[in-house]
């Protein structure tokens, strides 16, 4: 009899421990289900249900053994009932989470093609060829200027390049062709300039139009060398400034330097307009002169040259 009571007490202690463990475990399990991600929960549901079934089985086994040992369970009957309710609530909670997880996964699977397409589209955009130009803000006609061309994300092909300055469809520039060592109209491509995937180089251009000033367009176009298919292009604004024309202004009377054509040396006479070493020697041989107008007697000095000499105001007779 005492042995049965001792055995029943051991079962009862095990039962109480199991209840204590279950009461601690179940709230933690429920909290993890509430806070867990649907994808994580769906992978753990089967494992959790197995644990709950195992706990329920152990409770029934211990309950059966204690009843056979005639141990009074009335002190813990309430705990047993609460524990069974908690187990059932946890199972119900798992079922709800399973449905939510399935709905969420289904929704994500439906969105997957759209997300994949969006990623592919973004990747395609990132892989599209990109080019840029760097150039002076202002340029002058007939003066060289440099343009830095840069490109990336090109395929492993050969490409032609055209850089031009245009206004209202008219080409205003020339491009220096380094391969042929000559200037050519910017209306034509430079052939086989580079091969992908990236390229950067400085090119020389100059404006050849004399009558267009202000803001105009600078363009760069890239085409495939083999197929002549346009790949990409870019443009910007550049300003053509008007060259300042310096006109001759005769010096004032106080600033005039008078070269006496009767006494000046050959080097001094060479400073007079239209007079070179040959005509200077003829002036020396033709002396004396009574006035600057008398230079008309010198061979090589005509009416137009004499007029320019007088406008210059440098020659004189003292």
pLDDT at 70 > cutoff 50: yes
pLDDT at 147 > cutoff 90: yes
pLDDT at 78 > cutoff 70: no
In a shared domain, residues 47 and 116: yes
pLDDT at 163 > cutoff 80: yes
- 3-class SS string, the chain: CHHHHHHHHHHHHHHHHHHHHHHHHHHHHHHHHHHCCHHHHHHHHHHHHHHHHHHHHHHHHHHHHHHHCCCCCHHHHHHHHHHHHHHHHHHHHHHHHHHHHHHHHHHHHHHHHHHHHHHHHHHHHHHCCEEEEECCCEECECCEEEEEEEEECCCCCEEEEEEEEEECCEECEEEEECCCCEEEECCCCEEEEEECCCEEEEEEEEECCCCCCEEEEEEEEEEECCCCCEEEEEEEEEEECCCCCCCCCCCCCCCCCCEECCCCCHHHHCCCCCCCHHHHHHHHHHCCCCCHHHHHHCCCCCHHHHHHHHHHCCEECC
Last residue of a domain, one of 60, 93, 124: 124
The reported pLDDT for the residue numbered 88 is: 76
In a shared domain, residues 103 and 137: no
Number of domains forming the structure of the chain: 3
Provide the mean pLDDT of the chain.
Answer: 79
What percent of the chain stands above pLDDT 90?
Answer: 45
Last residue of a domain, one of 94, 124, 154: 124
CATH of the domain at 291: 1.10.150.320
Confidence of residue 108 (pLDDT cuts 50, 70, 90): low
The 10s digit of each residue's pLDDT in 219-274 is 999 999 999 999 999 999 999 998 765 444 555 544 457 899 999 999 999 899 88
The reported pLDDT for the residue numbered 157 is: 93
């Amino acid at each position: 009899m005492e042995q049965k009571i001792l055995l029943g007490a051991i079962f009862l202690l095990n039962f109480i421990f199991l209840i204590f463990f279950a009461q601690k475990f179940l709230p933690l399990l429920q909290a993890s289900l509430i806070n867990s991600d649907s994808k994580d929960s769906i992978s753990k549901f089967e494992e959790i249900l197995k644990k709950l079934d195992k706990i329920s089985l152990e409770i029934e086994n211990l309950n059966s053994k204690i009843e056979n040992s005639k141990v009074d369970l009335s002190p813990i009957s309430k705990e047993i009932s609460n524990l069974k309710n908690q187990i059932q609530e946890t199972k119900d909670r798992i079922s709800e989470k399973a449905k939510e997880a399935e709905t969420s996964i289904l929704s994500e699977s439906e969105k997957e093609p759209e997300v994949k397409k969006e990623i592919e589209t973004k990747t395609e955009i990132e892989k599209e060829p990109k080019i840029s130009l760097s150039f002076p803000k202002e340029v002058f006609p007939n003066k060289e200027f440099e343009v830095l061309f840069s490109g990336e994300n090109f395929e492993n092909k050969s490409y032609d390049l055209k850089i031009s300055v245009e206004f209202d469809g008219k080409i205003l520039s020339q491009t220096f062709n380094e391969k042929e060592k000559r200037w050519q109209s910017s209306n034509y491509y430079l052939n086989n300039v580079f091969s992908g995937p990236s390229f950067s180089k400085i090119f020389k251009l100059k404006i050849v139009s004399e009558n267009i000033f202000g803001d105009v367009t600078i363009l760069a176009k890239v085409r495939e060398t083999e197929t002549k298919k346009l790949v990409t292009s870019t443009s910007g604004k550049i300003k053509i400034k008007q060259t300042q024309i310096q006109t001759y202004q005769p010096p004032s009377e106080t600033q005039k330097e008078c070269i006496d054509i009767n006494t000046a040396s050959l080097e001094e006479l060479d400073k007079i307009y239209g007079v070179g070493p040959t005509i200077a020697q003829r002036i020396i041989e033709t002396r004396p002169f009574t006035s600057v107008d008398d230079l008309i007697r010198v061979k090589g000095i005509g009416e137009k040259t004499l007029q320019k000499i007088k406008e210059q105001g440098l020659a004189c007779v003292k």
